Amino acid sequence: LGFDVLDVSHTEEAAHLRRRLWWNGHEDVSSLSEGRYCSCRACLNAEESNEPLENILLSHNIDIYRMVISQALDAASRGLLRWLVESMTHASPGLASLLRRVDSALYSYLEEFSPVVGSGVMPLIGPESYNAPAIKRFRKQLESRYSPPSWKQVVLLLPCSARKPYSESRSHRRFAQAIESALGSARRAVAETIITSPLGVIPRELERIYPVANYDIPVTGDWDAEEISIAADALVSHLRKFPPSVVVVAHVSGGYGDVVRVAESRIKQSIVFTVDAQQSVSTRESLSSLKATLSDLREILRLKGGKENLVLETLRATADFQFGSGAAGLLVPENARFRGKLYHTVTCKVEGEQLFSYIASNGMLSLTLRGAERLSGLGRYWVKFDGREIGGGSLFAVAVTSADPQIRPGDEVIVLNQHDDVVAVGRSEMSGREMCEFDNGRAVSIRHKVK
């Protein structure tokens, strides 16, 4: 339980100065008949009221406060509080400045309490979104946790699409047809990488994970200098993971092409552009150029054919991204067997035992107890409680004795008892620090437990 204290003295000051407040500013009024239309009770009844103008304005101003509070509570309940704050910065230079300073100075603190999962669309409209905690965390996590498959000989750079996941968009289906036509079974040697703002670069394997599958930006092809710089840095970092012998094929134009050109001097691999700077990448001519380039590289590099296994690559990339480097080797070994489709659900079994399910709706792995036992040796994403076994469907913070500090709300976590035995798996409802510091609230929603 708790309570909030809200200082409304500004509403009184504004009313005294004959100012009617709105969510994005104020207006000076001498009589309400002159001002904007308002549907609040105080303004609608103003002409028939004997109340002084100052009292009417005060009632209106307080109603505006109530409206904004209601908007904030609703946005918070739907995971859109950040979007609401960002949208308000466009009406207030001071608020925009404050938000940018907070993102810079308090990133580590804000990120700790930012969920790693989300549903619905995440609008990213302007520069205020470039370093939002969830966005910046994705770029950092991709840099530190993603490792490309060793058999990749070509990196193909592609533009993003408005539709998510990218592979379901019309443009990316055309790209896929061109790649298949040019390479056939040698397609497995190509690492598809999508350039986007403000996330930077996205390996095809991670296109369904949060926030990649959720973000929405104005797609015009025009990029500002900060966007280009962020994406160029991400591209350079990403390509460092590949050997110098890999060839980079840039099937991009406009702002996407600018990103590659800005990064070019820091890239150790050879780069081949398939289109001119301002040429559309989806035209028949452009796709023919892409096919011709890939066909030539197939001969020059002697690209190796074989069974394409996007499922394997996706599950391994997701395991490392979700649980840290080394998780893929434990959860998706060479003898792993898969069943299902990436656009729905994929189960992974090793020697007949299911380790996890891949859930397409959030792009994450959902562990079984056996999978948790395999992963527990890494010493990550664990929560320890002071009992021997889990009794119900929730683990509350009051029972938690310690937890991995890198746990964030929405993470898949392993529950250990006082003897360090794996007794349950589930989804965290708060950060690792909150689990240890809070005396109430649900810490973990249990999905599987030892019976």
Dump pLDDT digits (tens) for 345-401. 999 999 999 999 999 999 999 999 999 999 999 999 999 999 888 989 999 999 999
Query: What is the rounded (10 degree) CA torsion for 187, 142, 426, 351?
Result: 40
Residue 113 has φ and ψ, to the nearest 5°, of -110, 10
The pLDDT of 398-420, averaged and rounded, is 96
Residue environment code for 102-121, b if the CB has 16+ CB neighbours within 10 A, otherwise e:
ebeeebeebbbebbbbbeee
Which segment of 31-35, 41-45, 142-146, 284-288 scores lowest on mean pLDDT?
Answer: 31-35
Delimit the domains of the chain by residue range: 9-77, 127-300, 310-367, 374-449
Closest CA to 394 of 434, 450, 449, 432: 449
pLDDT (tens digit per residue) in 299-315: 999 998 888 789 999 99
Tokens at residue 109, please? 């603190």
Q: Which CATH number fits domain 127-300: 3.40.50.300, 3.40.47.10, 3.40.50.10630, 3.20.20.20?
A: 3.40.50.10630
Confidence of residue 4 (pLDDT cuts 50, 70, 90): confident
What's the pLDDT score for residue 36? 86
Rounded to whole angstroms, the Cα distance separating 235 from 200 reads 7
Q: What is the mean pLDDT of the chain?
A: 94
pLDDT (tens digit per residue) in 40-71: 999 998 888 889 999 999 999 999 999 999 99
For residues 328 and 350, is the Cβ–Cβ distance under 8 A?
no
Q: What kind of fold does domain 310-367 have according to CATH?
A: Nuclear Transport Factor 2; Chain: A, (3.10.450)
Confidence of residue 278 (pLDDT cuts 50, 70, 90): confident
What's the pLDDT score for residue 119? 82
- The neighbour count for residue 378, using CB atoms within 10 Å, is 16
Is the predicted pLDDT of residue 327 greater than 90, yes or no? yes
Signed CA dihedral, 383, 388, 390, 395: sign only: negative
Per-residue DSSP letter, 246: P
Rounded to whole angstroms, the Cα distance separating 93 from 367 reads 45
The arrangement of secondary structure in 374-449, i.e. its CATH architecture, is Roll (2.30)
Is the predicted pLDDT of residue 2 greater than 70, yes or no? no
Rounded to whole angstroms, the Cα distance separating 435 from 443 reads 6
